[in-house]
Homo-oligomer: A and B are copies of this chain.
Amino acid sequence: MTTFGTILSSVHVKKPRIHCITNYVTANDCANILLACGASPIMADAPEESSEITALCSGLVINLGTLSDKRIEAMLLSGKKANEMGIPVVLDPVGAGASKFRTNAASRLLSEVKFSVIRGNLSEIKVLAGERYTSHGVDTADTIDPESMTGAIELAKSFSRKFNAVTVITGEKDIVSDTERTFIISNGHPIMSRITGCGCMLSSLTAAFLAADGNEPLTAAAAAVCTMDICGEIGAKLMKTSDGNAGCRSHIIDAVFNLRGQELDRQAKINII
């Protein structure tokens, strides 16, 4: 089996170019974390150019934060182009359930574009699975804890079956699942929930990992989650007493910049079931 470390090393070597159609709140962090892992970001969200930009890339991220009608058009065009080309597409359904506009956009994307990976929190995935109609917003809501774990794994599996994609549900522990196997990842740090864009950055990393090593999307997605989580731990450990979430954000991106494959494998806390 490919280890997480070899996939990270692949990203370092192949430097995949990733097209991000993403929100303006965390676009800068997404660009810098892609550069940190050795990938090369292109941000473009105008429907007039989006599919041409995708055509230059080896991975695509579609992130629903600060959604707009124009950006939905661009997402559909780029998603279809990526599918034609056979490159991986990651969906981050930020805020699905928070408004009909976002839920409908997510549904339409899921029906017209084939995604390799869909990454959200538990409530976003529940909304897209049809299990609930409203999320409590962008970053709160149901979390994955020991109690909800079994149900969340079942949800991830059935969601993967429905959309023929790897499902990533992030929370206290993270679930990365296809229809058969599930990685449960215990790395990470609570401060990550107080840094805007940790989810968005993870989705961007995921596209880079898939683009660099497309053979096992499940393993590549799990490697990305584990990378982000371990860098969250490193970032938290680097904090001085006067540091807070802003300092830690910078430490996390820097940790990605410095992380090598061997260290990733050494720090990973995973269960495969």
Most buried by B among A48, A57, A246: A246
Residue of B40, B67, B98, B195 near A35 (CB, 8 A) is B195
> Which A222-273 residues sit within 8 Å CB-CB of chain B?
234, 238, 241-247, 249-258
Listed stretches A109-117, A132-140, A145-153, A175-183; interface member: A132-140
A5 at the interface (CB under 8 A from B): no
Interface size class, chain A: 35 or more
A42 CB-CB contact with B under 8 Å: yes
Residues A66 and B43 in contact, CB atoms below 8 Å apart: yes
Answer whether residue A79 sits at the interface, using C-beta atoms and an 8 A cutoff.
no
Q: Could you tell me if B238 and A258 are in contact, using CB atoms closer than 8 angstroms?
A: no
User: Are the CB atoms of B238 and A242 closer together than 8 Å?
Assistant: yes
A142 at the interface (CB under 8 A from B): no
Q: CB within 8 A of A250: which of B42, B238, B250?
A: B250
For residue A129, CB closer than 8 A to chain B, the reply is: no
Is the CB–CB distance between A246 and B242 below 8 Å?
no
> Which residues of chain A (188-218) have a CB below 8 Å from chain B?
194-197
Counting CB contacts under 8 A, is A174 at the interface? no
- Shortest beta-carbon distance, A36 to chain B, in Å? 5
Given contacts A70-B68, A98-B56, A197-B28, contact A251 B245 (CB under 8 A): no
- Contact of A87 with B by CB under 8 A: no
Residues of the B chain whose Cβ atoms lie less than 8 Å from the Cβ of A68: 45-46, 70
Q: Is A131 an interface residue (CB 8 A)?
A: no
Q: Which residues of A contact B (CB under 8 A)?
A: 17, 23-29, 31-32, 35-36, 40-46, 48-49, 52-53, 56-57, 65-70, 95, 98-102, 136-140, 194-197, 234, 238, 241-247, 249-258
